């Protein structure tokens, strides 16, 4: 691995990935936390990221989220996207990754994880494809193989999904899921 993180699409060679795992705040959102006068938290998610995650799961690939926060906004959005494995309220993301890998039978080396801040470092140091959005902390970016051109909450996840699928030779298959052509699915 080179000392410098790569920006998505810069000729980066990546291994095939069996699980895509993500943080929420700063990755699926822009890291803003909006709390209303009633104490309810709301979050803003990017629709392009949603298409990327739906494509990933429709291709039969495993998707997971490990986040330190918890709340109904997270639960609703991830259920809507078909994310199969969700860990909310994580106090030790590295331990939670290991438990998730044990439960799914997927080795950490076969996982791509996107995180943006210090609590993500234990996972990023264990997985095969550590990734960060453009606006991640510099220490986080320094341990990543892939740094997207887009910021968290602004299409970074979609960009990462496209890079991963391209590296796996499955990007066009993913696109065909949406354009009405079923050739990639054998029907």
Question: What pLDDT is recorded for position 117?
Answer: 97
- C-alpha of 75 from chain center: 16
Question: What pLDDT is recorded for position 187?
Answer: 34
Of the chain, the percentage scoring pLDDT greater than 70 comes to: 90
Reply yes or no on whether the pLDDT at 15 is more than 70: yes
Q: Which two tokens stand for residue 120?
A: 């993500």
Reply yes or no on whether the pLDDT at 186 is more than 50: no
**Global pTM value:** 0.89
Question: What pLDDT is recorded for position 12?
Answer: 66
Per residue in 49-101, pLDDT tens? Answer: 999 999 999 999 999 999 999 989 899 999 999 999 999 999 999 999 999 99
Residues 101-130: what's their mean pLDDT? 96
Lowest mean pLDDT among 68-77, 112-121, 154-163, 172-181: 172-181
Q: What share of the chain is helix, strand, coil (3-state, %, to 5)?
A: 35, 15, 50
CB atoms within 10 A of CB 87: 18
Task: Tell which CATH classification among 3.40.50.1000, 3.90.1150.10, 2.60.40.10, 1.20.950.20 matches the domain 6-177.
Answer: 3.40.50.1000
Reply yes or no on whether the pLDDT at 185 is more than 80: no
Lowest mean pLDDT among 21-25, 37-41, 76-80, 143-147: 37-41
Reply yes or no on whether the pLDDT at 105 is more than 60: yes
Which residue did the predictor score with more confidence, 14 or 119? 119
Which residue did the predictor score with more confidence, 34 or 55? 55
Reply yes or no on whether the pLDDT at 110 is more than 80: yes
Note whether 139 and 118 are within 8 A (CB).
Answer: yes
**Which H helix or E strand runs over 61?**
none
**Cα Rg of the chain, angstroms:** 16
Question: What pLDDT is recorded for position 33?
Answer: 86
């Amino acid at each position: 691995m080179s000392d410098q993180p790569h920006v998505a699409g810069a000729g980066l060679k990546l291994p095939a990935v069996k699980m895509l795992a993500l943080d929420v705040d700063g990755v699926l959102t822009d890291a803003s936390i909006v709390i209303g006068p009633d104490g309810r938290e709301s979050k803003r998610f990017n629709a392009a990221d949603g298409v990327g995650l739906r494509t990933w799961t429709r291709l039969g690939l495993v998707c997971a989220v490990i986040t330190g926060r918890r709340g109904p906004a997270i639960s609703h959005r991830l259920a809507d996207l078909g994310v199969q494995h969700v860990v909310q309220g994580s106090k030790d993301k590295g331990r939670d990754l290991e438990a998730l890998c044990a439960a799914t039978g997927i080795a950490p080396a076969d996982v791509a994880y996107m995180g943006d801040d210090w609590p993500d470092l234990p996972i990023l140091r264990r997985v095969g494809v550590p990734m960060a959005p453009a606006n991640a902390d510099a220490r986080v970016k320094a341990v990543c193989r892939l740094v997207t051109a887009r910021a968290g909450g602004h299409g970074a996840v979609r960009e990462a999904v496209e890079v991963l699928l391209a590296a796996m030779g499955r990007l066009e298959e993913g696109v065909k899921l949406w354009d009405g052509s079923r050739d990639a699915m054998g029907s």
